[in-house]
Structure 1
Amino acid sequence: MNQTLAQDSEKEKAGNQLFPIFLKLQNFNTLLVGGGNVGLEKLEAMLNNSPDANITVVADRYLDEVFTLLEKHPQVKTIQRQFQVSDLEGKELVILATDNYELHQQIQQLCKVNGILVNVADTPHLCDFYLGSIVKKGNLKIAISTNGKSPTVAKRLKQVLNESLPDELDQTLDNINKIRNTLTGDFAYKVKKLNEVTASLVDEEPKQKISPKALGWIIWITVLAFAGITFFALWNQDPAFKNYLLTVNPYFYYFLIAGFIFAMVDGAIGMSYGVTSTTFSLSMGIPPASASTAVHISEILSNGIAGWMHFKMGNVNKKLFKMLVIPGIIGAVIGAFLLSSLEHYSHYTKPLISVYTFVLGVIIIRKAIIANRRKNEPAKKKITKVAPLGFTGGFVDAVGGGGWGTIVLSTLIAGGRNARYSLGSVKLSRFFVALMSSLTFVTMLNDLHWYAVSGLVLGSAIASPIAAKVSNKISAKTIMFAVGIIVILASSKNIIGFIMKFLA
């Protein structure tokens, strides 16, 4: 044994000499010994990559999670007893995943005699092959090996590649395959043409048409222009605005505190600022259109900064952004126009908006409940109807004072879109959606309840730099539950109030 270890050590000095291959496990008879945590990990690795793998599992005890996993893989056979030599009959691959080192040595020697390849968990010198970490993007698979030195490093590299490689790679593979099938000629000609087609994949990335610095200037200039136009327009048209500048409404402080709290919550879970702020505004007697205006104006700067940061970090999928922003703006402007036109009927629209926020509260709680379950769910087919989603999200967001993140971001992620690119694209597009809906509200409404607007703007601005640090120390699941309950209770108060007035 010592001689074997010495030989392996000498080989390792020459570098990683492993030869990588991809096996069709459905064509092999594989034996897995062990039904505990390590056995479950090995079984998940094989079935996630080869769902039809022909596997027999032998163990004297099993975790419940093993049987849960095998509900979707009835071809896998389980035997509940200790290992027997007869278990090796007809097997071509063996994986050992128990805590019994002596048993592993015994089985490894038997496999050697019978010409069976064997993998022994956490014991490299007994292995004929290793199970590497696998990065999977549709038809693309990348296997990572550290020569058995550090599985932890392999897992971290897997995480980095999973986050960095876009989901669109699978679509690229499909397109290249279609091109390949249309090519005629000999092998050399096909290789030449495919090399020309795929050259862009390794060429230096073309420069962005808009640099992060230029985008930052565009956002700041747009915000300042909006503020200037709004100020002068209201100074000349809205007498209440002049009075507001001279006296501070006591309710301003309530909205200041509320804006701070809701921005902190939004920083922790990435959504719900609009729905919580709107629900609070309605409960304070603000009409729906004015409530939506206050929320959208307070979101312009914060989303502009967040969108710029995501763009700078490369988290914005430009194609996804374009598919969201134009339909989102159109939907938001239409929604803002309709809601502003119905401002005189706020005693009717207010309960309807309260019903909408009540539903969003239920959705938030549901997301908190199923958050952990979704980690184990198989990947869904990627959503392709992004433009209708953007229009619907913009319209509902303007009418209800919130919901862009809850509706659009959640749908994109649930629909198989990359979470990081979805978040960045949604945040940046949200800046333009909030800007255009705010302009529509400002130009159509006379009394905007500026104590609510300024309170939310200032409160959320103060909270923004703090939220990111605090969010790492708070359970997002707990906050989602709390937000959902608060929104449901506040919305119920408005609905019950309307019903009581109607009955009276």
Structure 2
Amino acid sequence: MQPSPNQNIVEVSPASDKGNQLFPVFIKLNELRTLLVGAGNVGLEKLNAIVNNSEEAKVTVVAQEINAAVFEIAASKPNVKIKQKAFTADDLDDVDIVFAATNDNTFNAELRSLVHQKGLLINVADKPELCDFYLGSIVQKGDLKIAISTNGKSPTIAKRLKEILNDGIPNELDQTLQNMSALRQNLSGDFTAKVKKLNKVTERLVNPQKSFAERNIKWLIWLVAVAFILAVGFTLWETEPQFQAFLTHIDPLFYWFLGAGFVFAMIDGAIGMSYGVTSASFSLAMGLPPASASMAIHISEVMSNGIAGWMHYKMGNVNWKLFKILIVPAIIGAILGAYILSSLEHYSAYVKPIVGIYTLFLGVVILVKAFNIKRKRNKEKIKKIGPLGFVGGFIDAAFGGGWGSIVLSSLIAGGRHPLFSLGTVKISRFFIATLSSLTFFTMLGGKYWEAVLGLVIGSALASPIAARVSNKISAKTIMVAVGIIVILVSLRSVIMFILKLI
């Protein structure tokens, strides 16, 4: 079993097939004498795992060929000694615990036999059957350490659980731990009284008090969505005679946007992005001004994002601390972007190519993601959440899309956990879509309602089956096709504007 660089739990491994029979114990390597045999890439990982968790560990490294990085660690850690030579039985003298990191299986088996003759324990890299103990994935928050074991079955599962716990457990918990330690030292009374007091203090860790919004988020989403739809429908009925005529004569534009909304929602369900950019590109190509196109997109997203946000809430994928920091600046940015774009509706001929350039850029972004061109992920979590929300909300409203591409990508690239980032971004999107839609509707009224209604109904019809279809089609294939289509449609808008100027 190959360790991650953040490991040092030792788990004694009795032979049994009745589930995980390992007994986890934490070893004070700082007080033991450790022997590491082998100093290649795997040996380097073992050494990093030891010194990262036990900085004062006394480690002797024995190997004929030694990775240069091992020498660097030894130079910075005075307790790490290197013997560049072939292993001999004498190297086991004055040793308490042994790690083997060689690719010679015959030697590893012989070494294990020698170690057992000395009454010592050994860990052999990538050979669970030769190990007396395993190295488990470690989650650390100051003095708090959590060990994860899969009984040697799947280091990948252990790694994924480590990522979830690392992001889900706040760094501030270590401060709580220090406070509890101080409180424990000052408690009076017998053991039972102390336990009751400590249990009462820590009860909120198990049963945290949720805010009113957190407890009633489902009803809040449905109330906002239903009130929004009723308000828009009533206003159209009272102020737009054409809307009433729609019941007897349906404009063909409705059918075009009905099909488009269905297809774009299916794509979004398959790859988790691009509804805004594909809808914006299509709307501009169909002759809608940028403000009306953005209004149609955001109104159609109200219900779908409300449902998606509620589902993420039910699955526990929402980081409420992140949500509170993100939501207010994002709403302000969205309202401002919607107001400015609506105010420029009379200049739509000039705004349209700008939006076309923006969607052209997003089309390139989709292609880049399709071919898995990776950017280096920061180790430090992104800090400027408020400004990010404002910029994302503004651009999303002003250009018809981009909230997910900008905010979600930035959060993940900035070290935030993908699962919790997705859930938080989705539930935030509901409120952003609702308020930006109201701003557009207040400024523009019921223009191009055939497009709006088509997108709303089309995306709603696609929602129940999008997830199933996504399992049948390659996400990469869809992303490549979407990227190319968006780029071509966007180029058409820009070229048409240039030809008009000529």
Same fold per TM (> 0.5)? yes
Q: CA deviation at 1:114?
A: 6.9
List per-residue Cα deviations over 1:334-374 (Å, max 9, x = no partner): 11111111101000110111111122222233334446x46
After superposition, the Cα gap between the structure-2 partners of 1:137 and 1:472, relative to the gap in structure 1 and judged at 3 Å, is farther
Q: Deviations over 1:283-303 (max 9, x none)?
A: 111100010011001100000
Query: For residues 241 and 452 of structure 1, what CA distance do their matches in structure 2 show?
Result: 12
User: 2:152 aligns to what?
Assistant: 151
Question: Hey, what's the Cα distance between the residues in 1 that align with 2:53 and 2:474?
Answer: 32
1:304 paired residue number = 306
| Corresponding residue for residue 102 of structure 1 | 106
Residue by residue, what CA displacement relative to the aligned partner does 1:84-137 show, whole Å, maximum 9, x if unpaired? 435985996643456754322212234456787531246556434322233356
- The residue correspondences of 1:203-352 to structure 2 (distance < 5 A) are 203-206=206-209, 209-210=212-213, 214-352=216-354
Return 5+ residue gaps in structure 1 as ranges. Answer: 1-6, 78-82
- Please say if residues 240 and 447 of structure 1, whose CA atoms lie closer than 8 Å, have aligned partners that are also in contact: no
Give, in angstroms, the shift of residue 430 of structure 1.
Answer: 0.9
What is the DSSP-based 3-state SS (H/G/I as helix, E as strand, rest coil) of the residue aligned with 2:493? Answer: helix
Of residues 137, 151, 165, the one that matches 1:133 is 137
Once residues 384 and 414 of structure 2 are traced to their aligned partners in structure 1, the CA distance between those partners, rounded to angstroms, is 10
> How far apart, in 2, do the equivalents of 1:14 and 1:436 lie?
51
| Corresponding pairs, count | 473
Match of 1:30 in 2: 36
Matched, 1:392 2:394: no
Q: Given that residues 290 and 399 in structure 2 are in contact (C-alpha distance below 8 angstroms), is that contact kept between their aligned partners in structure 1?
A: yes
SS at match of 1:31: strand
1:413 to partner: Cα distance: 1.7
Cα 1:247–1:474 shift into 2, 3 Å:
same
The question of whether the paired residues in 2 share the 8 Å contact of 1:318 and 1:425 is answered with: yes
Larger mean CA deviation between 185-194 and 83-92 belongs to 185-194
> Is the CA contact 2:283–2:293 (under 8 Å) kept in the aligned structure 1?
yes
Q: Is the 8 A contact 2:37 2:43 kept in 1?
A: no
Give the match's secondary structure for 1:329: helix
* Identity fraction in percent: 49
- Please state whether the residue corresponding to 2:212 is helix, strand or coil: coil
Secondary structure at the residue paired with 1:133?
strand
Aligned to 1:21: 27
Q: Distance in 2 between matches of 1:431 and 1:13?
A: 44
Measure, in 2, the Cα distance between the counterparts of 1:286 and 1:326: 30
Give the Cα–Cα distance (whole angstroms) in 1 for the partners of residues 25 and 223 of structure 2. 57
Residue pairs, 1:160-199, within 5 angstroms: 160=161, 162-164=163-165, 166-174=167-175, 177=178, 187-188=185-186, 195=198, 199=202
Cα RMSD after superposing both structures: 4.2
**Residue identity opposite 2:315 in structure 1:** M
Separation in structure 2 between the aligned mates of residue 22 and residue 215 of structure 1, nearest angstrom: 47
Q: Distance in 2 between matches of 1:401 and 1:34?
A: 53
- The 1:176/1:267 distance shift into structure 2, 3 A limit, reads same
What SS does structure 2 have at the residue aligned with 1:19?
A: strand
45 and 378 in structure 1: CA distance in 2 versus 1, 3 angstrom threshold = farther
Equivalent residue, structure 2, for 1:457 = 456
DSSP 3-state at the match of 1:130? strand
Change in CA separation of 1:457 and 1:378 when aligned onto 2, cut-off 3 Å: closer
Contact 2:142 2:174 in 1 (8 A): no
C-alpha contact (below 8 Å) 2:280/2:297 kept by paired residues: yes
2-side partners of 1:15 and 1:490: how far apart?
A: 60
CA distance in 2, matches of 1:43, 1:286: 62
AA paired with 1:337? Y
Could you tell me which residue of structure 2 aligns to residue 4 of structure 1? none
- Compare 412-421 and 334-343 and name the one that shifted more: 412-421
Unpaired segments ≥5 residues, structure 2? 1-12, 76-84
**Amino acid corresponding to residue 312 of structure 1 in structure 2:** K
Partners of 1:432 and 1:13 lie apart in 2 by 46
